[in-house]
Chain A
Amino acid sequence: MSHLLSFIQSGPPQQPPESGPPPQPPTEPARCINVAQRSALLVENDKSLVDILRTCLEKEGYAVRIGSNTEEAIRLYREFTPFRVVLIDYCVPQRDGIEIDCCAPQTQAIELAMAIRKIDRGQGIILAAFDFQSASEVPRRPEVMDIPTLVGCLDIPQLRRCLEKIELLRAIRALTRAEELRLQEVAKFRIYGLGRAACGRDWQDLLSEAFSRTVLGVTDTKNGRHWNKNVDLVRHLTEAMRSIASSWKRQFVGEENTYLISELQTRDAEGDDYSLFDNVASGHIPADQRLIEQENEHRVFASLRGDQDATQVLEAWMDGFRKSEILTKCGLDEKRYDAAVRRIRVKLLGRRS
């Protein structure tokens, strides 16, 4: 271990200035770095901070390379890439150069890339996270930790969570216009499906809640919804909205118990007033909740009145049929089915076709 530490502390041999034949990549002594071992690049000239961070990283099984300035950091990076963790002193000169050189090309391999800074009085460390893909990004500081927390609370997972937030931000910034519009449409349909159970909430509330839970899911898997990066973010948010809409509905059913009869008055196809109570057999409890559902269903069909294909598709959906079954059952071809679905989307959101 001592030889490893001495190697890490002294760093790899300096490369000569650019003259003569191009330098060959140094061959590392096998005893120093296991190929499978995760390595970390630490760019920091404050010795006390170096000691703390190196201890933390080594405790986590990282082989640590330490550079004290920009040139050294870039040289280490080029010689020993890929690094899984990159921690850079916030105040190191030309830090942007390191971030771009060291982090952007191997973003996929990096588990964590952070800029670090010691705050006044030496009582703590502010960890500032940056979006390394954009050199002009305004520094972000999602977490602040003091030294005891950093050392005692197993810092690497904590730091990794910071990176997850950055990745979330990257992911939403990488969404295409079409993906954003899909999210909006899905949110609108979920709100439509809630009917009065939405309690005045709109699609923005639902989408915002879904994403808030995702952000919280970085640190809190109990209350939040953790985003698995292997899952498409649009799909993840869609599922989150479904789940949240269901919980809002359950809350509404649990909290709302009183309705005026006049609230349940509606009109049939001929324009005659009738009460939804007329269609509910007595003795079923809770009738009011069922009435709300029934009202929703009436509302859905009312918006498609006169459109036979769309009504057929809607009924088949409600009965749980799949597309292939609907095509057979309703005698529709793909084109007519898709057209009917499009009309359902347009009509239910009250848009002009």
Chain B
Amino acid sequence: MGPKKKYSERIERVVNQLSESVLGLSDDDILAEVSAAGLDPEQEAKRVRNVLEKPLQTLEKVNLCLSNLGHTINPSNWYCGPLAYYNTCLHCGLSVSVTIATAEIRGSAVQRICRASDLMIRPTGTVS
């Protein structure tokens, strides 16, 4: 084992142990620990929930936006780039990119109607 690997592994082990110790804490202990750190558990939990709900909301927004413009994407074809996720319309080939962290949706597919589709649905928040 070379020194490089050793150093790399040492920090990794510490973080692994810390993660396990957090997962092993009782509900009361984790709440007490966060409170003791001067943080509001309720607010912190809310921040976590917001972080978790954002990706679903963003991806849903993309689907809605693309469908309103008549595009069809293969949900299995999302390409994970270094900064964003990419996909293309199966019919016209226009592309779309999504940055989850900032909820940014870009690409020609969200600016233009699918040429291969004569379907145009008015944008709506719901399907009602």
Contact = CB atoms under 8 A, between A and B. Distances in A.
Interface string A337-349: 0000110111011
Contact of B18 (A146, A149, A189): A189
Given A184-B47, A290-B7, A293-B4, A192 B15 contact: yes
Interface in A143-181: 143-144, 146, 149, 161, 165, 168-169, 172-173, 175-178, 180-181
B119 A124 contact: yes
Nearest to A285: B4
A294 B37 contact: no
B64 interface: yes
A223 B78 contact: yes
Interface of A is mostly: helix
Interface in B12-27: 12-19, 21-23, 25, 27
Contacts of A190: 15, 19
Contacts of B38: 351-352
Interface residues of B, number: 62
B82 A251 contact: yes
B75 A181 contact: no
B76 A144 contact: no
Given A177-B45, A181-B41, A211 B55 contact: yes
Contact of A300 (B11, B44, B49): B11
Contacts of B49: 172-173, 175, 180
B100 A212 contact: yes
B23 A238 contact: yes
Contacts of B11: 193, 195, 293, 296-297, 300, 318
A54 B128 CA distance: 24
Which size class do A's interface residues fall under? 35 or more
B95 interface: no
Contacts of B30: 178, 181-182, 185
A74 to B, nearest CB: 22
B14 to A, nearest CB: 5
Given A176-B27, A189-B15, A346-B37, A318 B44 contact: no
A177 B31 contact: yes
Q: Determine which residue in B11, B36, B38, B85 has the highest number of CB atoms from chain A within 10 A of its CB, and name it.
A: B11
Q: Determine which residue in A119, A149, A208, A314 has the highest number of CB atoms from chain B within 10 A of its CB, and name it.
A: A208
17 contacts: A90-B127, A141-B63, A169-B53, A177-B31, A180-B45, A181-B45, A193-B14, A205-B101, A212-B55, A213-B80, A215-B55, A218-B75, A242-B16, A284-B3, A293-B4, A293-B10, A293-B11
Interface of A: 90, 117, 119-121, 123-124, 126, 128, 138-144, 146, 149, 161, 165, 168-169, 172-173, 175-178, 180-186, 189-190, 192-193, 195, 204-205, 207-209, 211-213, 215-216, 218-220, 223-224, 234-235, 238, 242, 245-246, 251, 284, 286, 289-290, 293-294, 296-297, 300, 314, 317-320, 341-342, 344-346, 348-349, 351-353
